[in-house]
Chains A and B, each alone.
Chain A
Amino acid sequence: MDNLTYYIQQLLTGVTVGGQYALIAIGYTMVYGILRLINFAHGDIFMAAGFFMVYASATLPLYISLPLTLLLTVILGVAVERIAYKPLRQAPRMSIMISAIGVSYLLQNFATYYTGGLPRPYPKLPFIGDIIQIGSVTTSWVTIITPLLTLALVAGLVALIKYTKMGMAMRAVSRDFETAQLMGIKINNVISMTFVIGSFLAAVASVLFFSKYTTVTPTIGAMPGLKAFVAAVFGGIGSVPGAVVGAFVIGICENIIKAMGYTTFSDAFTFVLLILVLIFKPTGLFGEKTTEKV
């Protein structure tokens, strides 16, 4: 019986982690869908959101610091796009990817400098960190809230993409960049909007993530970032529901592997999955087929 409780607990953790990966993965998948760019800096934006919260909540009450964190993260995301990606729009794809890596390097180094390289304790948030007891399973509210909040946000996002004018513009740009431009769509606004959404979701993910892991370090974004990216590829990059499904699969599998006692392999599993997907179904679960143009 104890064993069962243990596995249920691990499964719940898996769902929570999956939800957090899903929120990060959406940022990757949307940017890739529109710019065909792997935004290597996205994991670091997630990290930066953690630090914004640490510093904001040191002086401000929660009802100000939380929205402020979300706002600052969004500003950072859009600023990165404007400064590092926009000038390279006509450049070969490799250059813009290198630029993304450079941004990631810069953000990590800046965070190390600003914090002195020490891990910072994340503020304790009321309510969502509280422990609850369901039957024999002990867990915290964040475990319950994360998947629900994720699904709600994703539903909202899908509706936005499907039914609003902005969403339509996004779909048009991701289908054909240049034609969309010729049709009078303001490409730069659409791209900025993509980064706004991606960064916002990353900030939400960071609040949920750190209320459980409680310390923020400058390099903490790398692993969740990579895993969320794998989730995006697994679900078919460019597809929002795909990214969410992929993230939940990865989160759950990873925690099952951890529960079985192979913690070392939980990271490796993600990448094995990535390579298997790339070999057998490079377009992912829900990805669009592309044909090579000469």
Chain B
Amino acid sequence: MKTKTKTILSAVLILLLLAAVWLADQLLPASSIVLTVLRKGAIYSLIAVSLNLLNGFTGLFSLGHAGFMLIGAYTYAILTIPVEMRDSVYMYYDGGIINFALPVPVALLLSGVLAGLFGFLIGLPVLRLKSDYLAIATLGFAEIIRALVQFDGFGPVTNGSNVLRSFPVFHSTLFPFVVSGLCIAIICLLINSSYGRAFKAIRDDEVAAEAMGINLFKHKEMALVTSAFFAGIGGALLVMFQMMVQARAFTSAMTYEILLIVVIGGIGSVTGSIIASFLFIACSEWWLRFLDSTMVINGFTVPFLRPGFRMVVFSVVIMFVVLFYRQGIMGSREFSLERIYQFCRRRFGKAGKEAENHE
């Protein structure tokens, strides 16, 4: 396939996708589960891809993602609550000490920047550590951030352990799609640049990469900051979706969940992470919901079904993937038009050749 046709086809596909999302927005009622899945799936895609950049492409096993999301989420919420709402939100802290509200795009960008800054600071000590120590150190940092945000002394800024709300949210499903899409596109550009190749070299063999003249610390720091930046934006999008934010929710369990999404999608595959995010959200919010309610068929009560069973089935499926299907959905391959084209050509090759002969 020619490069030009490929570009045009990709552009058409993306436009079609956006049009479909827009249509879904217009046709479905606002409370529709499909819209919830689409929105949350888009947000989780961004977060999962940003984690994959670290874990899958650079080989840094980081478990601090919830911390970066928390920073992004709080930055966004704190900076955008309208001035007239501050008194009611910060009711225990006399309206807080911040008396301005920034426009949404600026606040979104700042939430990424601040998360990235924290990523940079955390990276300075932590990136010297080896794999499993790195995992716990980043986990520890996420916990520290959570404790600090909930600290009463910072209440005038963070509202302590109380809920932040009343900040602007999005009403169109297109918004998370466009923002996530742009961010993921930037991550893809980075992965395909010479920096991205350096990341992969570090992942495959650190010592060899260093011998080839790659500055290990610089590149690891770059991967961590980028990942934190986009995790911050993802966190901000997530609270826009939830319409409120509380630090208590950003536990290590959240990081684990995102890590498991990355594993299901395939460590080292951007499209895999995206597919897995939508699947994960669709299953947990929609398709497997029935497992949580009692079901009676012809007077026979189906056993086991009661609240919580969904998560059990879910974790069992995840364990299966981890144990027996370690590649995940995509392995380290990417979903691409080229691949589908080649597949079709091989599959329907005979017909194709005949058509060519006719011409």
Contact = CB atoms under 8 A, between A and B. Distances in A.
B322 interface: yes
A109 B314 contact: yes
A106 B312 contact: yes
A211 B307 CA distance: 29
A24 to B, nearest CB: 15
B133 interface: yes
Given A38-B136, A88-B323, A106-B315, A271 B260 contact: no
Interface in B23-64: 55, 61
Contacts of B307: 113, 116-117
With most chain A CB atoms within 10 A of its CB, the pick from B133, B140, B323 is B140
Nearest to B319: A102
A141 to B, nearest CB: 32
A102 B61 contact: no
A91 to B, nearest CB: 7
Given A88-B323, A264-B151, A101 B137 contact: no
A294 B211 CA distance: 12
A110 B308 CA distance: 8
Nearest to A85: B323
Interface stretch (B1-9, B75-83, B251-259): B251-259
A294 B131 CA distance: 15
A104 B151 contact: no
B178 to A, nearest CB: 32
Given A87-B323, A88-B323, A264 B315 contact: no
B140 A113 contact: no
B260 A233 contact: no
A268 interface: yes
A256 to B, nearest CB: 17
A226 B135 CA distance: 12
Given A88-B323, A271-B144, 7 more contacts: A84-B319, A101-B260, A113-B306, A113-B308, A113-B311, A117-B307, A219-B253
A106 B150 CA distance: 28
Given A38-B136, A105-B260, A222-B252, A117 B308 contact: yes
Interface string A261-289: 00011011011101100110010000000
A268 B147 contact: yes
A99 interface: yes
5 contacts: A101-B259, A113-B307, A222-B252, A233-B133, A275-B126
Interface in B246-299: 251-253, 256-257, 259-260, 263, 267
B212 to A, nearest CB: 14
Contacts, number: 123
B280 to A, nearest CB: 12
Given A91-B326, A264-B151, A282-B129, A274 B140 contact: yes
Given A117-B307, A229-B136, A271-B143, A110 B323 contact: no
B129 A268 contact: no
A95 B152 contact: no
Given A93-B131, A219-B253, A282-B129, A267 B312 contact: no
A112 B308 contact: yes
B139 interface: yes
A106 B143 CA distance: 22
A51 to B, nearest CB: 14
B141 interface: yes
A268 B148 contact: yes
Query: Among the interface residues A226, A265, A278, which one has the most CB atoms of the partner chain B within 10 A?
Result: A278
